[in-house]
Amino acid sequence: MSTAELQRRPVRSDRRRLTSASRVVMLASVYAFLYIPIIILIVFSFNNSRLNATWMGFTTSWYGTLPDHPSMLNAAEISIAVTLGQTVISTVLGTMGGIALHRYKFPGKRVFVYFLYIPIVIPEVVLAVALLLFFNQVSFPLGVVAMMVGHTTFTIPFVVLVVRAAMSGFDNSLEEAARDLGATEWQTLWKVTIPIILPGIIVGALLSFSQSFDDFTTSFFVDGMGNDPLPVYIYGLMRHGVSPVVNALAAIILAVTLAFALLGERMQRVGKLTRR
Amino acid sequence: MELRSHGDVSDVNQPRRSIMQHLKLHRANWMMWMLLIPVAGWMIVFFAFPQLLMLFISFMSQGEYGGIAYQFTLDNYIQMFSPVFLNVIWTSVEFSFIVTVLCLVVAYPFAYAIATASPRRRLFLLFLVIIPFWTSQLIRTFALMFLINTSGLLNTVLLQLHVITQPLNLLYTPFAVYLGQFYAMLPYMILPLYASIQSHLERPEFLEAAQDLGANPAKAFWTVTLPLTTSGIAVGSMLVFIPTLATFFIPLLMGGGKMEMVGNFIGNQFLSSDNWPFGASASVGVIAITLVLIALMFRFMKNAFLEES
């Protein structure tokens, strides 16, 4: 016993050796690298100076001046319209697809699943130029609807993925029970299946929302003239030099996307807990 | 109604009927088509069809005024071997390779440090990695631009500390593009490495054996830990390399369009150069390369999984 313990000790001390100062420094510096730029961006959105670099005191006035820029309001409206529209479409279609893929077997299912997931893995710029080409060839006008279509196309696979995952613990006998009790297919879907996987559907919707809201690449190609959503609008502003207004806007987008992502994470956990 | 009449618990046919129903649940019916057709239709019209159109256009000629002339040609694919395009490809491959190596070098000890932390702290440290993972990549890039531009905080601080006498022109340089891509990709390397190192540390037999046989910690690391975490290295490297290869907005924002990766090159063919057919062939090439790399990655993951079990 004692020899075995002796032999094991070196490994334990190896684990402990990294607890030294160098390890703390290393952890701290990588976290600092990851977080400092974001923190500075947010802190300086409250800086009481037009020049961005030195701290002149706390103010919320940059947030207050946001509505004074009509072009910014326009960009915000476009962002919200595109994101809400595409979230509804991608959530509905993705949920239907996710349920169908869980429930049914059909020839070519594997290929179909691969096909659905390809947009997740191929570079977004390639999806974006293909859509630009498509809209151009069918003479579909670029703008809000084109962006909605583009965003929906790359968010649907994520919703399908999340809904399928939510259904993986789904007990098929619940649907059978509903039908034994005389429910139609339609009633089973609405009164049994959907309520049970609702947390998963909401997670999919939140994910879809945050991906669309901060999308740059697809919007950049298919937004057309004068329809810049917030990310593309900020890109334009940044090219003319920085201003605390940009910080304030960026901080808002950051807060929105992060809130939606964290909420989604929370929901996912709740969903897992309630299933047990 | 029919179902109810059979619903007697003492029914002898009960088990068989239930199996039949189970099968019915999985067989194609009108409900399946109703659920499947909208999503399939959408993805066929707005994803598959545009890609096929892209393939078609990649075999067409460039029109006189930048449009598309509907004449078959292989020129666009031949043009992919022109020095200009090969140079772009080389820039992208070199860039992706360097970014991947940088991420690996920084992420490995970092992931190792997290994996060796106490279980409770580990969860928190991991959570701190996942937050930037969820944070908008675009806003994170803006944050870097804000930090390193000529009148930005970094220059101001360095000037005030008299480290430099003139502001450094960091933004809109290749350095900035490397920094931006590294910053965006680092979490993608940390997470798979952490998973792999963590599962390796949970089975210390190999490391113990190496040390029993007299290997010093450095040797044990190189001969045991590193080979046993190859799957994490492979997956992490792929997760960084593939998106970096066709990265678009980071070179555009951080490099000011001066450093042209293949993603920007494709974009420019459609926006400023107006050579859509060539852009199309380059795009087809990028998709082909990406799919091959993804297949390779899944091969690695599968192998890793087989080793585990």
Q: How far apart are CA B148 and CA B138, in angstroms?
A: 16
Q: How far apart are CA B288 and CA A125, in angstroms?
A: 14
CA A218, chain centre distance (Å): 15
Largest CA distance in chain A: 80
Number of domains in chain B: 2
Rg (CA), chain B: 27
Pair A44, A52: CB distance under 8 Å: yes
Reduce the DSSP state of residue A83 to 3 states and report it.
helix
- Average pLDDT for chain A: 86
Task: List chain B residues with CB under 8 Å of A261.
Answer: 134-135
For residues B41 and B167, state if they share a domain. Answer: no
Pair A104, B26: CB distance under 8 Å: yes
Reduce the DSSP state of residue A25 to 3 states and report it.
helix
For residues B44 and B189, state if they share a domain. Answer: no
- Residue at B75 is within a domain: no
For residues B293 and B206, state if they share a domain. Answer: yes
CA neighbours closer than 13 Å in the CB half-sphere of residue A196: 20
Q: Which residue has the tokens 């090219």?
A: A239
Smallest CA–CA distance from A107 into chain B, residue: B28
Structure tokens at B173: 């340089």
For residues B14 and B158, state if they share a domain. Answer: no
Smallest CA–CA distance from A20 into chain B, residue: B113
Among residues B42, B57, B72, the one where a domain terminates is B57
Q: What pLDDT is recorded for position B28?
A: 64
Q: Which residues partner with A58 through β-bridges?
A: A47
- Residue at B62 is within a domain: no
Candidates B110, B120, B142, B138; CA nearest to B236 is B110
B67 contacts chain A (CB < 8 A): no
Write the CB contacts of A208 (distance below 8 Å, at least 6 apart in sequence): A86, A87, A90, A91, A94, A155, A158, A159
The CATH homologous superfamily for domain A66-275 is MetI-like (1.10.3720.10)
Residues 141-170 of B with CB under 8 A from A: 142-147, 149, 151-153, 155-156
For residues B288 and B160, state if they share a domain. Answer: yes
For residues B231 and B165, state if they share a domain. Answer: yes
For A135-185, the pLDDT digits (tens) are 999 999 999 999 999 999 999 999 999 999 888 878 878 888 888 898 888
E strand map for chain B: 60-62, 68-72
Could you tell me the CATH number of the domain that includes residue B188?
Answer: 1.10.3720.10
Would the CB atoms of B208 and A149 count as touching at under 8 Å?
A: no
- Residue at B257 is within a domain: yes
Mean pLDDT lowest among A18-27, A209-218, B276-285:
A18-27
Confidence of residue A7 (pLDDT cuts 50, 70, 90): very low
Strand duo B60-62 + B68-72: pairing? antiparallel
Q: What pLDDT is recorded for position A268?
A: 73
Q: Which residues partner with B72 through β-bridges?
A: B60
- Chains A, B: CB pairs < 8 Å: 266
For residues B91 and B199, state if they share a domain. Answer: yes
DSSP annotation of B178: H
Structure tokens at A18: 């990294």
Confidence of residue A253 (pLDDT cuts 50, 70, 90): confident
Average pLDDT over every residue of A193-208 = 90
Write the CB contacts of A74 (distance below 8 Å, at least 6 apart in sequence): none
Write the CB contacts of A252 (distance below 8 Å, at least 6 apart in sequence): A63, A66
For residues B223 and B154, state if they share a domain. Answer: yes
Would the CB atoms of A40 and B18 count as touching at under 8 Å?
A: no
- Residue at B187 is within a domain: yes
Positive or negative torsion for Cα A6, A7, A12, A14: positive
For residues B232 and B138, state if they share a domain. Answer: yes
For residues B279 and B215, state if they share a domain. Answer: yes
Reduce the DSSP state of residue A182 to 3 states and report it.
coil
Helix or strand run (H / E) with residue B121: helix B119-134
Structure tokens at B218: 């450095």
Task: List chain B residues with CB under 8 Å of A180.
Answer: 3, 7, 21
Q: Which residue has the tokens 């809109």?
A: B172
Q: How far apart are CA A81 and CA A145, in angstroms?
A: 9
As a whole number of Å, the end-to-end CA separation of chain A is 41
For residues B29 and B101, state if they share a domain. Answer: no
Q: Work out the minimum CA distance from A194 to partner chain B, whole angstroms.
A: 13
- Residue at B291 is within a domain: yes
Residues 243-262 of A with CB under 8 A from B: 246-247, 250, 253-254, 257-258, 261-262
Query: How many C-beta neighbours within 10 Å does residue B8 have?
Result: 10
Q: How far apart are CA A271 and CA A265, in angstroms?
A: 10
Domain membership of residue B98 as a residue range: 81-308
For residues B158 and B287, state if they share a domain. Answer: yes
Pair A247, A62: CB distance under 8 Å: yes
Q: What is the pLDDT along chain B (309 residues), one digit of tens a residue?
A: 334 444 444 444 444 444 444 444 556 678 889 999 999 999 999 999 999 999 999 999 988 777 788 889 998 999 899 999 999 999 999 999 999 999 999 999 999 999 988 888 888 898 889 888 778 888 899 999 988 888 788 888 888 888 888 888 888 999 999 999 999 999 999 999 999 998 888 877 777 888 788 888 788 888 888 888 888 899 899 999 999 999 999 999 999 878 889 999 999 999 887 899 999 999 999 999 999 988 888 887 777 666 654
- Point out the residue among A94, A216, A258 whose CB comes nearest to the CB of B135: A258
Q: How far apart are CA B196 and CA B229, in angstroms?
A: 6
- Ordered by start, the domain boundaries in chain A are 2-46, 66-275
Reduce the DSSP state of residue B75 to 3 states and report it.
helix
